[in-house]
Amino acid sequence: MITYKTEKINNAICFFAQEVYKFRKQYLPQTLLYKFLSYLDFSSIEKLGKPALELEYRAYKNGPVPVGIYNNREGYQTNCFKFEKRGINRFIVISTKEADLDYFSEFEIETMNYLLDKYIRINLSMKKIIDNICEDSHTEIRAWKVAYNRKKNSWIDYSDTFGEIDKKESNKLSIQEERFLVYRSFKNKTLCN
């Protein structure tokens, strides 16, 4: 049985793959996909207090990498996309049908389109786009910086998006931080049951 969360992740991958091909006539490189997914999750945490896709990331040299997707990329195929190997540790993502955007909130769709506008719908080479987004992920995703500086290739804790959130007094928390703490508490409770 495929869950709603899985379908949402699959349709996010499909959307990015179809849009990159539509505008660039090139298939989506895996590195660019990983950056898009991480930006979607971490932007959602910053603005709403909850990750859009809830993927688990490691802090690799070039930025956050969704480990479940990365580890299964060889032969990874769904009803709306497939990964295809193009050399040693090089993969592209090919959409095989239109993404279903009904899985996404207005904010999530705006964020995905913002990423496409910023990186794809411009006149740069794919290599330059990947260089730019990797560099940006180093400066814009705080949780990656904290994890990478702590220990290279370590797990990224979504809590690090907000700094020392657990040391803040409750009346000093932002709305996003409060929402994140509720999300984290619910998630931890679910994992314990």
pLDDT at 191 over 60: no
* 190 pLDDT tier (thresholds 50, 70, 90): low
User: 121 or 60: which carries more pLDDT confidence?
Assistant: 60
Asked if pLDDT for residue 56 goes beyond 90, the answer is yes
Res 130 pLDDT > 90: no
Q: What is the dihedral of CA 10, 58, 68, 29, to 10 degrees?
A: 50
Domain map (residue ranges) of the chain: 4-158
- DSSP reduced 3-state for 140: helix
Chain segment 9-35, per-residue pLDDT in tens = 999 999 999 999 999 999 999 999 999
pLDDT on residue 177: 94
By the 10 Å C-beta count (0-12 exposed, 13-18 middle, 19+ buried), 28 is classed as buried
Residue 50 near residue 180, CB atoms below 8 Å: yes
Question: Binning pLDDT at 50, 70 and 90, where does residue 124 land?
Answer: confident
Mean per-residue pLDDT, 115-134: 88
- pLDDT digits 0-9 by tens, 71-86: 999 989 999 999 999 9
Q: Taking all residues of the chain, what is their mean pLDDT, rounded to a whole number? A: 92
Q: What is the pLDDT of residues 88-98, one digit of tens each?
A: 889 999 999 99
Quick: pLDDT tens for 134-183: 888 888 999 999 999 999 899 999 999 998 899 999 999 999 999 999 99
Question: For the chain, give me the number of helices (H) and strands (E)?
Answer: 7, 5
